[in-house]
A and B are shown apart, each in its own frame.
Chain A
Amino acid sequence: MASAVHELTPAEASAHPPAESIVVRFAGDSGDGMQLTGGQFTLSTALAGNDLATFPDFPAEIRAPQGTLFGVSAFQINFGSTAIDTAGDVPDVLVAMNPAALKTNVEALKPGGLIIADEGEFGERNLAKAKYATNPLQDGSLAKWQLLAFNISQLTLDAVKPFGLGNKEALRCKNMWTLGLALWMFDRDRQPIVDWLKAKFAKSPVLAEANIAALNAGHAYGETAELAGPMKQHHVAAAPAEPGLYRTVTGAESISLGLVAGAQLAGVKMFFGGYPITPASAILHHLSRLKEFGITTFQAEDEIAAIASAIGASYAGQLGVTSSSGPGIALKGEAMGLAIMTELPLVIVNSQRGGPSTGLPTKTEQSDLYQAVYGRNGDAPMPVIAARSPADAFDCAIEAVRIAVQYMTPVMLLTDGYIANAAEPWLVPNMDDYAPFPVKYLEEVPEGGFFPYARDEKRARPWVKPGTPGLLHRIGGIEKQLNTGNIDYGAANHQAMTEMRRDKVLGVDVPDQEVELGEAGGKLAIVGWGSTFGPIHQAVRRARKKGLDVSHIHIRHIWPMPGNLGALLKGYEKVIVPEMNTGQLKTVLRDQFLVDARPLNKISGQPFMISEIEAAIEEALA
């Protein structure tokens, strides 16, 4: 989705027919600024009107030893003139800033794809660190790809020489030189990057000028080197898009914005209790800057205090929100039970990552579905919502807030490291299109007396702010008596209260499940949830183009599930559930609906490739 900026002339079009989409991967040392390069390239691509998806892939170490294989940081972007749902299966272009980056990424490159390598970094020491016996740029081992090797380091040093920087500082401009070359390759406007560099280095104009010089030099290098073989300028036409205002958004940004929007629609102030953890911290960072929206943020002493303080704030009448990743969510488990028992609104965001334990902090996985749905002591039901993409996370966050305040319940919002970090173009929503759901606190004794655990038509109990005269009451984690909320260990009461909590959550109004692509019934359904949306959607689209009877269903409401989902799934002969775990949604679907859902699992810390799902479809329908 995006706008037309570059209109192809017939001459251009015939010279290089426009590609539908191109995948570029920037890879370098974690100190080389590859994420920054990727981010800025993404911005210029969005401004050029291409649809796009990105995949930042970086090590857990902040500054891993230079030149090592485990210190490689990569950023992949897929952009095109049609709708782009994934970061792309195989890169067409690999930019490798050192031998380690080449070694860890080249096998993913499409045969015949283009390697751009910084020759200046392929000295003996770096080759040894990357465990190359001989120099791959010279030994013919890269023959199945096109290779362009030149000394980016030296070219950068030459370009920034007039600014009198030290060698180390000068080499830091390498990523801008590379970005300049990439901008030339894909016919991008340099001005937004120049503006950005001026703003970023406002305090040291020399650095701004040096970086701009490197950027320009890279760009000029492309122009002059064009005749030399594989280096060609590519034109990717703008993708069709719904008219409106667009921006790029990451999942962490859109969740933060969605929470702010949800709190506004509910008419409540927000309290966010968080504790630093990868990849969830970005939400804490975003919200910390938005005080004027009535948001209090609190970096607590630990994960438990983060959720406990949010529960305290909810008790006092604000919307408590906490966020973490799997290990932190585990620590919050007991407190979630308290929020369930005391029936207070609370939103818990889980940015999933690879596990168990510390697992793969910077890699993505969908392996906390069991934890979200079942992972607490006692019968402790909680609505669970899963976002499918950075843009979708905005609406999911609003939905989580709505359910929390309307049903007086904690709600878990599942996202993952991929969604949190990846960027995509976003049609900025118009808040006038969203119906408010204002909170009504109980402020006076109702007719028939005040009972803290009385129920409304949604089975929600009243929300009373301490400070309200006449409605004094005590709540806590001990089993509550039906209606009065007093302590009650009675057998019949516990049965009734457990059923009440279960029925309240099962009664949450969840929209009927729709079919994303295909028909309601047929030979095969591919059922997904969360960030697998992109690859599933593309795979099903490709398979349908080939005439295969396959449909895509993507579940947002993990718990409770849509009322029509069971019947819908039973309309297909086969059901396959691709997941980045060992089959968690698959198990829940089998349990809930007695359908023969089959798993398709990938647990490598990397998103699915379209081709992997396509292959599974073809096999199932063979």
Chain B
Amino acid sequence: MNDMTPVAKTLPKDWETDQEVRWCPGCGDYAILKAVQRTMPEIGARPENTVFVSGIGCSSRFPYYMETYGFHTIHGRAPAVATGVKLANPDLDVWIITGDGDALSIGGNHTMHLIRRNLDCQVLLFNNEIYGLTKGQYSPTSHVGTRSPSTPFGLLDRPLTPCAYVLGSGARFVARAIDVNKNLPAVLKAAHAHKGTGFVEIFQNCIVYNDDVFAPFTEKANAAGNQLWVEQGKPLLFAGGTKGLTLDTETLVLKVVDVVDGDWAAAHVIVHEQTNKAIAHMLVEMPFGPFPMALGVLYDDPAPTFESAVVAQNAQASLGKKPDLQKLLSQGQTWQVEKQPHAM
């Protein structure tokens, strides 16, 4: 993100391209695209200063539909390409669009290093727990037992929790959202406002290969009882304020407690502190079922960014030095030949 003085306020439609959107009808990606296009004017972003970088997969087609600069790269490598873009021009506002296979399987290494370096950019990981573009194989976030073309008898691998992976890699901003949820733009705004890598996992429904995989907490009927939207300085409540999370101080694990008459303090419900990494770890690791799904900005504790450190070091190392190429070529032990000493 940058400090930008808005020239003329943009409208969501200014962020749409003339390209035909090629996702399957009913795909969650449409809702995310709309949410991003709605968010851009609100954060004062400028199309010419914005770059969307993606890898490979359904989600990675995203840049073609954003009226900005865009780079649809190769499988898993978007973080590395984005690192080069940002180091070459730190004034650009860089967004990485990726999926569960792209970011956590083939590109897992780059994701880890992007996060630990803390490049100033936003990462939107569309997690649909499946490989869509290659026609439905399991992904590193698929549940054990998932039947897919490559696991006809059920999946044996245990899944990875994206937010836990990035927290373990040193992430300074971790958030979760849902493709069709009204809170998505607010989460995107918070990620953009964070100086450093803003990591957002978006639960995205793949209508063709993994339909309703998130229904246990996204379906209207299940939402209230199973979604816990965290807010800075507010108690961790869900189910219409009738339930909350507390810390079992003997075993140091979270537990669900009933809140009677809205008196959450009496039930020792934890107040969300977004700079508390220990709580963030517990929130992202809570097993769904016994616990609700934690959503919103789970962790936000800025630290110096990679590109600003690179810029500072480049400047420091250049201090007082003139880029004199001729002098550089003539460095080291040299000698002068005045004349031909003798013929060949």
Contact = CB atoms under 8 A, between A and B. Distances in A.
Interface of A: 1-4, 43, 46-47, 49, 82-83, 192, 237-248, 257, 260-261, 264, 269, 271, 273, 289-294, 296, 298, 300-302, 304-306, 308-318, 320, 334-335, 337-338, 342, 428-431, 465-478, 486-487
15 contacts: A240-B341, A240-B342, A248-B333, A292-B317, A301-B110, A305-B83, A305-B109, A311-B84, A312-B80, A315-B71, A315-B84, A476-B71, A477-B74, A478-B72, A487-B64
Contacts of B110: 301, 304-305, 308
A294 to B, nearest CB: 7
Nearest to B72: A476
Contacts of A431: 325-326, 329
B49 A467 contact: yes
Contacts of A487: 19, 64
A474 B72 contact: yes
Interface string B15-36: 0010100000000000000000
Which residue, B63, B337, B342, has most C-beta atoms of chain A within 10 A?
B337
A309 B83 contact: yes
The 4 closest A-B pairs by CB, nearest first: A312-B84, A476-B72, A309-B84, A308-B80
Contacts of B70: 473-476
A1 B148 CA distance: 70
Contacts of A338: 73-74
Interface string B74-89: 1001011111111111
Contacts of A4: 341-342
B290 interface: no
Given A308-B81, A316-B92, A237 B342 contact: yes
A240 B343 contact: yes
Contacts of A304: 77, 80, 110
A252 to B, nearest CB: 13
Interface string B85-117: 111110110000000000000000110110000
A271 B84 contact: yes
Contact of B335 (A49, A242, A316): A49
Contacts of A260: 325, 328
Contacts of A475: 70-72
Contacts of A309: 80-81, 83-84, 87
Describe B's contact surface by its main secondary structure.
Answer: mixed
Nearest to A2: B337
A46 B48 contact: no
Nearest to A82: B344
B323 A293 contact: yes
B332 interface: yes
A476 B81 CA distance: 12
A449 B317 CA distance: 43
Nearest to B316: A291
B55 to A, nearest CB: 10
Given A290-B328, A476-B71, A477-B73, A301 B337 contact: no
B51 to A, nearest CB: 5
Interface string B37-56: 00000000001110101001
A246 B344 contact: no
A49 B80 CA distance: 48
A247 B341 contact: no
Contact of B69 (A241, A291, A466): A466
Given A261-B325, A304-B110, A315-B84, 17 more contacts: A47-B335, A49-B341, A240-B344, A244-B337, A257-B329, A291-B313, A291-B317, A298-B83, A306-B80, A308-B74, A311-B84, A313-B85, A316-B92, A472-B68, A474-B70, A475-B71, A476-B73
B318 interface: yes
B76 to A, nearest CB: 8
A472 B328 contact: no
Contact of A472 (B69, B81, B323): B69
Interface in B293-330: 310, 313-314, 317-318, 321-323, 325-326, 328-330
Nearest to B326: A431
B220 interface: no
Contacts of A318: 88
B134 interface: no
Contacts of B338: 3, 243
B51 A466 contact: yes
B337 A467 contact: no
A42 to B, nearest CB: 10
B249 to A, nearest CB: 40
A192 B333 contact: yes
A47 B333 contact: yes
B285 to A, nearest CB: 25
A563 B344 CA distance: 33
Nearest to B333: A43
B67 interface: yes
A312 B337 contact: no
B19 A486 contact: yes
Contact of B84 (A46, A310, A334): A310
A431 B327 CA distance: 10
Contacts of B109: 301-302, 305
B5 interface: no
A465 B73 contact: no
A305 B80 contact: yes
Nearest to A241: B337
B293 to A, nearest CB: 31
A238 B88 contact: no
A470 B332 CA distance: 48
B333 A46 contact: yes
A292 B321 contact: yes
B73 A46 contact: no
Given A293-B323, A467-B49, A269 B73 contact: no
A310 B81 CA distance: 7
Contacts of A264: 323, 325
Nearest to B78: A308
Contact of B340 (A241, A293, A313, A342): A241
A291 B73 contact: no
A292 B322 contact: yes
Given A4-B341, A474-B69, A466 B92 contact: yes
Contacts of B51: 316, 466
